Copies of this chain bind each other. A is one copy, B any other.
């Protein structure tokens, strides 16, 4: 697990996003036990409170579940995970085309740009 932060937004929000991706992509498996809040804080090099705050948000989203005295676990609800993942992918694609459009690239142009560009190999 690895965390990268920039200064432009609250760190706890960046943790939420990055953990969300780890979870919905399956890099942290359904049902898997998360490292302790303290350990996660160490890994991410942030204050324990900051990590705690991020985990609360993920629990609100039902992506993780706290078992008192036992630890925090990624949800086992694979339907929920799939829903989150599909939603995330759809939003990512939609935003991408919106971004390109605001630059003046319509759908066709963007597709062509990607194909000839080979931008993805880098």
Contact = CB atoms under 8 A, between A and B. Distances in A.
Given A93-B114, A119-B94, A119-B97, A66 B104 contact: no
A93 B113 CA distance: 9
A94 B121 CA distance: 9
A79 interface: no
Contacts of A80: none
A102 to B, nearest CB: 5
A102 B25 contact: yes
Contacts of A99: 92
Interface residues of A, number: 36
B88 A92 contact: no
Nearest to A60: B60
A72 to B, nearest CB: 12
Interface in A18-33: 21, 24-26
Contacts of A85: 103-104
Given A25-B104, A97-B119, A107-B120, A10 B8 contact: yes
Interface string A76-100: 0000000001001110111011011
